[in-house]
A and B are shown apart, each in its own frame.
Chain A
């Protein structure tokens, strides 16, 4: 048995190392895929080791194996099917869903562990580190689960943004009540399971209210934050069992997730607080609308003219946005690109860090449509090229090309780095209508002299463009 124990320690150690290397490799495009596989292999080792080698401090091996295997098999089948079937455009909500599952798992473990404290001991209060870890696990796990499910619903378009009156005050009071109840539980000599369920329920409510007012475009930041929450909850579990793999894995995700959240906020030039309080939209919408009349009239372009513009250009730059993802226009855009390339036109894609609903969203989508990786330019590479670009095709993007971010200090997106598409010779904006972008503000770009509008669904517009091109 001692041998088994040491072997298990070694397996946990390998798992921890694989998580670290996996994350490191995931941060480089060349090694990312192998990094993911290495982390998955480490995880498999840790799970198999736990199943067959783990003994409780009293020396009992893992029982109920048939149940556990059934659970693992069910989870594997459902998880694989969901992950394989999900559309590329729905990736963000899928991640959120799986994250919620992890949070719920952590909360349920804590509920079960609390069971052994429900017998009265009449001697000491429950003020010890183990009960603290259990309570934190329940609170954070529940918040993460409920929040992730709301984020999932929002990205699926099933849940609308909803702000209660005095929401921030209400949330703060709720949080204080949850913490107060937790402290009360710890001050007793007998574990009160009913009260624990109240804490769990209130934490779930808090998770819902925490995410509900935050706008859909900010969901990636929220998902990333909840991701690091679940990491923490896993780490509390690791503390509970003295399990190093859970501890390192959880903390690693907790800290990496926090940094990632901040990086995402930086890419939008906003603070995390600003995202969480949900200052975007709302008041700015009205202000923007007032300016609309003064901006002049947007000029339309016909399909034929647009095709001719592109056909005789030397360089065409495509700026994709969420509209492209919604219309599923990535494949037809790639075809458009191939037709132009065959005629000697250089076509590149300029990708803003927060284009779409998630950083990297556009890259994943375009890669799915077989667009070559080296055609995708990041903002810093693309911006100097716009001066020498004949046609910029803005497909379903809005805020990321809004010049107000550069020169209008009153604009809510002021300070966000944007793609300088207005420096090119002609900008063609493919858009459904003249509605504002996610930030709810007017875009002066549409009224520029060198801007032309091409109204309609992105996919059908580009299909028609390709047809026109082939006729030329």
Chain B
């Protein structure tokens, strides 16, 4: 017991330090979760598919990470270059394909007559 307690408190201190250092991210996390729930809650079933597709395109924002990785890969580090290049291509597919498919779905919701 006497050994476990300092060990635990050490970790609790670590966790608090982590939270303190990243408090901004923690705020963003909490608010984004609430926003996400709020934004979706009243959607009619008709729009489930386009909404899912639109959300799918939005997480394509991961491409920014791919650009950063690729942009800072050493020019002689071929493995990093190849992986980064693949990541950029796939990320772009996610973004472009996602938005175009969503637009095609929604194009059809125009009111006729």
Binding site for B on A (CB under 8 A): 15, 19-20, 22-24, 26-29, 32-33, 35-37, 39-40, 43, 46-47, 50-51, 54, 56, 60-65, 67-68, 70-72, 74-76, 78-80, 82-84, 86, 88, 91-92, 94-95, 97-99, 101-102, 104-106, 108-109, 111-113, 115, 129, 220, 223-224, 227-228, 230-231, 233-235, 237-260, 263-264, 267, 351, 353-354, 358-361, 363-364, 367-368, 370-374, 376, 378
Contacts and interface: CB of A to CB of B under 8 A. Distances in A.
Given A234-B61, A260-B48, A95 B33 contact: no
B53 A95 contact: yes
A359 B49 contact: yes
B35 A75 contact: no
A105 B96 CA distance: 14
A238 B28 CA distance: 11
List the 9 closest A-B pairs by CB distance, nearest first.
A75-B92, A255-B36, A62-B71, A71-B88, A79-B97, A359-B48, A367-B108, A79-B96, A83-B100
Contact of A75 (B59, B91, B113): B91
Given A251-B29, A256-B39, A32 B83 contact: no
Contacts of B92: 71-72, 74-76, 79
Mostly, the A contact residues are helix
Contact of A113 (B46, B69, B110): B69
B50 A26 contact: yes
Contact of A27 (B39, B75, B102): B39
A68 B109 CA distance: 36
Contact of A360 (B34, B46, B75, B77): B46
Contacts of A62: 67-68, 70-72
Main secondary structure of the interface of B (DSSP, over half): helix
B12 interface: no
Contact of A249 (B37, B43, B59): B59
Given A251-B32, A251-B36, A246 B64 contact: yes
A238 B70 contact: no
B57 A43 contact: yes
Give the residue among A26, A99, A368 with the most B Cβ atoms within 10 A.
A26
A98 B28 CA distance: 26
A138 B84 CA distance: 14
Contacts of B77: 115
Contacts of A60: 72
A115 B92 CA distance: 23
Nearest to B43: A27
B63 A47 contact: yes
B52 A257 contact: yes
Nearest to B98: A98
B41 A259 contact: yes
Contacts of A223: 52
A372 B113 contact: yes
B91 A251 contact: no
A39 B99 contact: yes
A101 B99 contact: no
Nearest to B62: A234
Contact of B45 (A54, A82, A353): A353
Contacts of A99: 56, 59, 94
A360 B54 CA distance: 14
A112 B50 CA distance: 33
Contact of B107 (A19, A33, A104, A260): A33
B101 A247 contact: no
Contacts of B62: 102, 105-106, 109, 230, 233-234, 237, 246, 250
Given A79-B93, A109-B62, A247-B32, A260 B51 contact: yes
A364 B28 contact: no
A17 to B, nearest CB: 11
Given A75-B89, A105-B91, 9 more contacts: A33-B107, A36-B50, A39-B54, A40-B57, A84-B100, A95-B98, A98-B101, A368-B108, A373-B112
Contacts of B103: 33, 36-37, 40
Nearest to A129: B18
Contact of B48 (A47, A76, A102, A360): A360
B22 A23 contact: no
A199 to B, nearest CB: 16
Given A32-B50, A368-B108, A227 B56 contact: yes
